[in-house]
Copies of this chain bind each other. A is one copy, B any other.
C-alpha cells in the first residue's frame, strides 16, 4: 500500500462494520471491610439470565468512553458517587459467559473506606452487602453470604471474578500501597494491621508488622492521637506516598 495515500481515503476503506463485535462491559467488585470482614456490594438480578442471583454492578463501555472512565461512571451511577480506589483486574472473555449475547467484561476492583462503604449502602439501597468467606487456603471457589448468613449465589462468572480479586489483593497487599485505600486519611497502626489481617484472613505479629510498615517510609506520624478510647490512645498516622514506589492513585494500572 502506498504510504502517500491520504488518511481520509484510508479510513473510508477501513470498514469497522465488516465484522460482528462483542459488547464490552465493566464489572466492579466494590470491596469494604465493615466490621473487619471483607464485604462486597451486589445487586440482585430481577431479570432473565440468573434472575434472583446476585451480580457485581456493571455497565457497558460507551463508544467514546475510556475503560477507566466507564468504571468510574459505573461507580458513580451504581454506588451513589462513593469515592473508591479503582484498579483494573482482569478481562473475562469466555464466549458463553452471558447467555444473552457475547459480552467481554473488564473487571475492576474498587476499594472503599469504611465511610465510603456506608455511604454507598445509604445512597444506593439496591446494593446488598455480602461477606466473603475467607477460606484461609486462599484457593478454591469463593462463597458470599448475606448478613443473616444465607448464601448469596452469584450470577454469571462473578464468583470467579471475586476469587481472582481477592487473590490479587492478597498478593499485592504487602508490596504495594493498596491497603491504605481501605483506611481514612488518619489511622492508627492497629487499624492498618486490622486491614491486612482481614484481607489475608490471618493474624499478624504486631512488632514485626509495625517495624515493616514504619521501615517502608510510607507512614507519616501526625503527633495526634485517637480520642474516645477507654485505654491508651494510639498515635494517628497519614499515608505519604514514597517517591520510589508508585503513589497508588485512583485508576493506577493493576499489577
User: Taking A1-B46, A91-B91 as contacts, is the C-beta distance between A20 and B63 under 8 angstroms?
Assistant: yes
B93 x A61 contact (CB < 8 A)? yes
Write the nearest CB–CB distance from A55 to chain B, whole angstroms: 15
Q: Across the interface, which residues of B come within 8 angstroms of A93, CB to CB?
A: 24, 61, 66-68, 70, 106
B10 x A253 contact (CB < 8 A)? no
* Seed contacts A14-B101, A67-B94; 12 additional CB < 8 Å A-B pairs: A3-B52, A16-B101, A19-B60, A19-B62, A19-B63, A24-B93, A61-B93, A66-B94, A68-B93, A90-B254, A90-B255, A168-B255
Q: Across the interface, which residues of B come within 8 angstroms of A65, CB to CB?
A: 95
Q: Across the interface, which residues of B come within 8 angstroms of A217, CB to CB?
A: none
A21 within 8 A of B: yes
User: Taking A3-B46, A16-B101, A23-B16 as contacts, is the C-beta distance between A91 and B63 under 8 angstroms?
Assistant: no
Q: Across the interface, which residues of B come within 8 angstroms of A90, CB to CB?
A: 88, 253-255
User: Taking A22-B21, A24-B22, A90-B254 as contacts, is the C-beta distance between A11 and B95 under 8 angstroms?
Assistant: no
| Nearest residue, chain B, Cβ from A101 | B16
Write the nearest CB–CB distance from A151 to chain B, whole angstroms: 20
Which of A1, A5, A16 has most B Cβ within 10 Å?
A16
**0/1 string, A202-232, CB within 8 A of B gives 1:** 0000000000000000000000000000000
User: Taking A91-B91, A255-B167 as contacts, is the C-beta distance between A102 and B14 under 8 angstroms?
Assistant: no
Write the nearest CB–CB distance from A99 to chain B, whole angstroms: 8
A255 to B70, CA, bound (A): 23
Tell me the residues in window 60-119 of chain A with beta carbons closer than 8 Å to chain B beta carbons.
Answer: 60-68, 70, 88, 90-95, 99-102, 104, 106
Q: Across the interface, which residues of B come within 8 angstroms of A46, CB to CB?
A: 1, 3
A148 within 8 A of B: no
Q: Across the interface, which residues of B come within 8 angstroms of A125, CB to CB?
A: none
Q: Across the interface, which residues of B come within 8 angstroms of A61, CB to CB?
A: 22, 93, 104
Write the nearest CB–CB distance from A194 to chain B, whole angstroms: 25
User: Taking A19-B62, A66-B94, A167-B255 as contacts, is the C-beta distance between A7 and B101 under 8 angstroms?
Assistant: no
Write the nearest CB–CB distance from A103 to chain B, whole angstroms: 9
Q: Across the interface, which residues of B come within 8 angstroms of A48, CB to CB?
A: 3, 5, 7, 10-11
